[in-house]
Amino acid sequence: MQALTLKGEVAAYGEVRVLGPLSLTLAPGEHVALVGKSGAGKSTLLALMYDRWRDQGAALMPQELGLVPTLSVFHNVYMGRLDRHSWWRNLLTLVRPRHRDIAAISALLETLGIADKCWTLCGELSGGQRQRVAAARSLYQAGRVLLADEPVSALDGPQAAQVMEVLVETYPASVLAMHDLELALRFSSRVVGIQGGEIAIDQPSHRLVAADLMSLY
């Protein structure tokens, strides 16, 4: 994996600048925790990264999850690879999934503790279960770098840690917007703190404790 770079990027809504100008390089093997208060620009930065890096293997797990409530868990996870198959195969999978796809997706669901929900409609799941389905879809999609916006916000301590561990072990690199500072430090190699649409902190995680980040809030 080559480094992924943003240079002098700016984002605005109408005439109001909400981010930048900022520059950032994601090196191979880096797992970045993106922290800062609500409205600081974290989600905007992730969207910008995805726009710039999607053709280089970036996968996005948005905060709103993007699940289809009228489809099963299996089919929502399968959507992570829709672009890798022909339209007719995807249509066939909607009616009669292949055993190979079922086995692969079931294994991911087992890892995340929701194997029993494989054929449940996503609209019938709890918030935490839906978040794990979105994580499973991101794992199934795979890629060079995962961009995730609050990927474990609906999960409790042990479940959150379990999902975080699987995500960072599966992807060669990641940028994860986090509100839980302890988890952010535990599962990252680098912390980037956003304040007022600019990078206020950029340090290796091992040099920081949660108290060092409180100035961002």
Fold of 1-57+145-151+173-205: Rossmann fold (3.40.50)
d(CA 128, CA 37): 22
- 115-137: pLDDT as tens digits: 999 999 999 999 999 999 999 99
Helix H or strand E segment including 160: helix 157-170
Residue 205 above 70 pLDDT?
A: yes
pLDDT in tens, 56-108: 999 999 999 999 999 999 999 999 877 777 776 767 777 788 898 999 999 99
Question: Is pLDDT of 43 > 90?
Answer: yes
Rounded percentage of the chain residues whose pLDDT exceeds 90: 82
Q: State pTM to two decimals.
A: 0.91
Higher pLDDT, 45 or 20: 45
Q: Is the dihedral of CA 12, 27, 139, 86 positive or negative?
A: positive
- The domains of the chain are located at 1-57+145-151+173-205, 66-142
